[in-house]
Structure 1
Amino acid sequence: MTDYRVSKGEAREDQVTAAIEKVTSQVPSSAYLAAALASMIASLTFKASKKDHAALFVGQWAAPFLLMGIYNKLVKLHGSDATAGGAPLQS
C-alpha cells in the first residue's frame, strides 16, 4: 500500500500564506474569543427580538471565530511552517 503522508520538511507553505500569518499572528488570541462571545450575545439579542433568521446567521459565527483563534495560537506556538524554524510539532 502506498504511503501518501507528507513528511516534515517535504512541503512548504507559499509566501501568500506566510504573509497572512505574519499579519494575523499579531492579533491577540483573546480577540478571537471576544469575537465569538460577541456573536453569541448578538445572536441571543436577535433571538429575544424575534429575529430568528438573524439569530441563526450571527450565532453560527462563533465556531469559525474560535477555530481562527486556535489556528492563530498554533501559528504563534509552532510557526508558519515546520521548516521555517518554528517549534517542532509533537506526534
Structure 2
Amino acid sequence: MAKDFNPEHKEGPVATAIEEQTAKLPSDIFLWASLASMGASLGLKIAGHKHTALFVGQWAAPFLLLGIYNKLVKLEGHDKEDDE
C-alpha cells in the first residue's frame, strides 16, 4: 500500500532533532513512568495528600501519549518515504 508523499510538507529541524533523540528511548520507559505515576498518586492519596495525588495521577495519560509518539517515530520516522 503506497502512501502519498508530498515533498513540500517536511518536518522542521526542531521536530527532526526531537525525533532522533526520542527514537533512542525504549518505548516501555513511558509505560513504566505511567504506572509509577499511578502508584505514586495512590500512595499520596493514602497519605492524605488529595490535591497532590490528583496532580501526579494526571501524569499517566501524557506519559502514555509520549509512548505512542515514541513508537510512531520508531516505526515511521520523520519524512519517511515508502520505496514501493
Shorter-chain TM-score tier: 0.7 to 0.9
Instruction: Specify the alignment match of 1:55 in structure 2.
Output: 53
Q: How many residues align?
A: 79
Q: C-alpha offsets along residues 27-50 of structure 1, whole Å, 9 cap, x if unaligned?
A: 000000000000000000000001
**Structure 1: how far apart are the matches of 2:10 and 2:50?**
44
TM-score by length of 2: 0.87
Moved over 2 A (4+): none
What corresponds to 1:31 in structure 2?
29
2:63 aligns to what SS in structure 1? helix
* Runs of 5+ unmatched residues, structure 1: 1-6
Structure 2: segments with no counterpart, 5+ residues: none
**TM-score normalized by the length of structure 1:** 0.80
Larger RCO, structure (CA 8 Å, separation 6 or more): 2
Q: Mapping of 1:55-74 within 5 angstroms? A: 55-74=53-72
